[in-house]
Chain A
C-alpha cells in the first residue's frame, strides 16, 4: 500500500459457538483502508460483511463470539482492548452510518436529543448547551437538510426515509471521525434519493478527509464511490483491486460471476448469476469455500487457496493464478 494504512485488519477470524456446533464465519480476513481512502467491501448477503464491521467496532459479545487475528487502527490493535477503551474509539474515531434509516433511530426521542448525545461524545466537546445545539444545526445544514431547527425538534416518525438517512450521516460525521463505515448506505431508499445521499456523503468525507469503508452488495454504488474494492465470499476476501481494474478485468471466478449477475439496461437478457448458495458455516467446504459453486473447480481447490498478487494492488485467493505470470486471463 502506497498510503499509510489507517485500518489494517490482519487474518481476522470470528467463530460462534451455538447448540449445533461451532460456526466459523470469518475465516482469515485481510483488509486495509488508507488515510483519506474510500474502500468498498462487496459480497452477497450473509458473506460476513456486517460481521466484519461489528468486529472492528468491538460490538461482538465475548462469550459467544470468538475473535482472533489483529485489527490495527491508528497504531492500536483493537482486538484485546477493554470495553471502555473501545467505547472511547466508537463514535469519535470510528463511526457508522447504519443500513436501515427506519430502524437505526430511536423512535421515542427527538432527533435533537439523539444527536446531542452523539455530540457529547466528542473529545472537543464544550459542555455548553448552546454550542452543542449550534453544532447540531450546523451539521444538519451540511447534510443539506432544510429547516434544521424543526428537524431537531422532530421525532423520527415525522421524517421521510431520505431525511432520516441524512440525519444518520450527520450523526456519523458530526465528531469528524478518522474512519466512517457505511453499511449498505441508502439501499433502503429509492434510487433517486439514494443518489442524492451518496453525493452528500461523498462531498462531506472528501472535504473533511475522512476515510470510508463502504459495505454493500450494490456494485453500482461501489463503482462510482470507491478507490479500491474488496470482494468477500463466505467469510474471506476473494479478490482485491483498484475499483477501475476490478470492473475492467475481474479475475476471481466469484468476482466474475458477481459482475455477470448485474442486470444491464442494454437488453442482453437475464443476467447469468451464480448457481448455488453460500455454504453452511457449521461445516464449510475444506479448502476454497467457493469451490462447490465454481465453474473452474479443480482437485487442488480442496486445499486452502493461495493468495496471489496479479498486478499493482490487485490480488486474489485462487489456485487458477498460482505460479502463473501476472497478466494471465482466464
Chain B
C-alpha cells in the first residue's frame, strides 16, 4: 500500500468517526430530561403553542425518523434553528467559530514556539539550574487551570499595571474590519488595516497566554522527557563518537526522534484547547464558540448543542489527520510499515 492510500484510508475512517459522533450526540441530547420545546417557549406558553413547536421540530415522531431528518440536515450543513438565539445554529457558529479558532491557533502557536524550545533547553542543560527552573515553571503551568491564569494575568497586566486591555477583541472606537473570514488577523491584514491588527493583538495577548500556559508547560515537559530518553540511545553516542558537534546532535539527531511522541500528544492538546477556551472566553468576554456552547447547553438548545459538538468533532478529526501526516513525515518507520503490511 502506498502512503497516500494509507492517508486516504485514514480520511475515510474519519468520516465514520464523525457519523458515530453524530449518532451519539443525537441520542445523548434526547436522553437528557426536560422538554426542549417547553424550555424554549417559557413557562407561560400554552399547550397548543408547545405542541406546534414539537411538531415543527419533529419531536413527536419516532427517534429513527428524527435521526433521518437530522442526518439529512447535517449533510447540507444545516443544524436547524437555535431555540436560544432564534437563528440558524450554523449562522451562529459561522460568526463565533472563527473568533475561537483564532484564539486557539495563537495559543497553539505559543505552545510550539515557547514550549518546545524550553524543553530543548532543559534537556540540553539537564540537572542544572536551567533545567530545574524550566521544570518548576512547567509544573506550575500544568497544575494551574487556565481560568486561574486568566484572572491572575488580568489582575496584573490589565488592572495593576494597566498595560493591556481588560477584555474584548478590539478597543472602543476601533472599527472592525469587514468580515471576510471572521478572523480579525486575516480580515484586518487583508483589508490593509495594520493598526486594527495591532490593536487586536494587544487584546489577544492575555487570553492566548492564559489559554496556552498549560499546553506550553506540557510541551516543555514532553520535549524534555523525550529528549532525555533519546539522549541515552546508542545512536546518539555513535553520533558523538563520530565527532558530530553537540549542537547538531541536539537540534538534529535528538530533536527529530524526540518530536514524534511530543507532536502526537501536543496535537491532542491543541484540539482540546477548543473546549478549554470556554472559561477563558468568559473571563475575557471573548465572543467565541466555547462560551456559546455552554450557554446553549444550559438552555437545552438541542440543535445548537449538536452543532457545537459536531464542529468540535470535525476540528478534532482534522487535527488528528494533520498529526498523522506530520508524524508520518517525522517517523519513516510509520510510513514504511504501512507499505510493508500490504506488500
Interface size on A, residues (CB 8 A): 29
B243 and A106 contact, CB distance less than 8 A: no
Q: In the complex, what residues of B have CB within 8 A of residue A118's CB?
A: 242, 244
Is the C-beta of B234 less than 8 angstroms from some C-beta in chain A? yes
Going nearest first, the 5 A-B pairs with the smallest beta carbon separation are A91-B243, A90-B243, A91-B242, A103-B234, A155-B332
Q: Contacts A108-B256, A109-B256: A91 and B332 contacting too (C-beta < 8 A)?
A: no
Is the C-beta of A39 less than 8 angstroms from some C-beta in chain B? no
Q: In the complex, what residues of A have CB within 8 A of residue B332's CB?
A: 107-108, 110, 155, 157
Is the C-beta of A81 less than 8 angstroms from some C-beta in chain B? no
Majority DSSP secondary structure for residues of B touching A: helix
Other-chain contact of B243, A87, A100, A155 (Cβ < 8 Å): A87
Closest Cβ–Cβ distance, residue A212 to chain B (whole Å): 16
B238 and A98 contact, CB distance less than 8 A: yes
Q: In the complex, what residues of A have CB within 8 A of residue B243's CB?
A: 87-92, 121
Other-chain contact of B242, A90, A99, A107, A158 (Cβ < 8 Å): A90
Interface mask (A143-159 → B, CB under 8 Å = 1, otherwise 0):
00000000000010110
B242 and A106 contact, CB distance less than 8 A: no
Is the C-beta of B287 less than 8 angstroms from some C-beta in chain A? no
A121 and B242 contact, CB distance less than 8 A: yes
A157 and B336 contact, CB distance less than 8 A: yes
Is the C-beta of B8 less than 8 angstroms from some C-beta in chain A? no
Q: Contacts A117-B248, A155-B336, A157-B332: A104 and B238 contacting too (C-beta < 8 A)?
A: yes
Is the C-beta of B257 less than 8 angstroms from some C-beta in chain A? yes
Q: How many residue pairs bridge A and B at CB < 8 Å?
A: 73
Q: In the complex, what residues of A have CB within 8 A of residue B244's CB?
A: 91, 117-118, 121
Closest Cβ–Cβ distance, residue B157 to chain A (whole Å): 41
Is the C-beta of B253 less than 8 angstroms from some C-beta in chain A? yes
CA distance A109 to B253 in the complex (A): 8
Interface mask (B295-308 → A, CB under 8 Å = 1, otherwise 0):
00000000000000
Majority DSSP secondary structure for residues of A touching B: loop
B257 and A105 contact, CB distance less than 8 A: no
CA distance A104 to B331 in the complex (A): 17
Other-chain contact of B235, A90, A103, A155 (Cβ < 8 Å): A103
CA distance A158 to B234 in the complex (A): 19
A108 and B330 contact, CB distance less than 8 A: yes
Nearest A residue to B230, CB-CB: A106
Q: Contacts A104-B235, A106-B253, A109-B256: A95 and B241 contacting too (C-beta < 8 A)?
A: yes
Q: Contacts A106-B253, A108-B257, A108-B330: A59 and B235 contacting too (C-beta < 8 A)?
A: no
Q: Contacts A103-B235, A107-B235: A158 and B336 contacting too (C-beta < 8 A)?
A: yes
Q: In the complex, what residues of A have CB within 8 A of residue B257's CB?
A: 106-108
Q: In the complex, what residues of B have CB within 8 A of residue A258's CB?
A: none
Interface positions, chain B 216-274, Cβ under 8 Å from A, are: 233-235, 237-245, 248, 252-253, 256-257, 260
B241 and A90 contact, CB distance less than 8 A: yes
CA distance A155 to B332 in the complex (A): 7
Nearest B residue to A95, CB-CB: B242
CA distance A108 to B326 in the complex (A): 13
B234 and A100 contact, CB distance less than 8 A: yes
A105 and B238 contact, CB distance less than 8 A: yes
B241 and A107 contact, CB distance less than 8 A: no
19 A/B residue pairs, CB under 8 Å, sorted by A: A59-B237, A91-B243, A96-B242, A98-B241, A99-B234, A100-B234, A104-B235, A106-B253, A108-B257, A108-B331, A108-B333, A117-B239, A117-B244, A117-B248, A121-B242, A121-B243, A121-B244, A158-B336, A171-B242
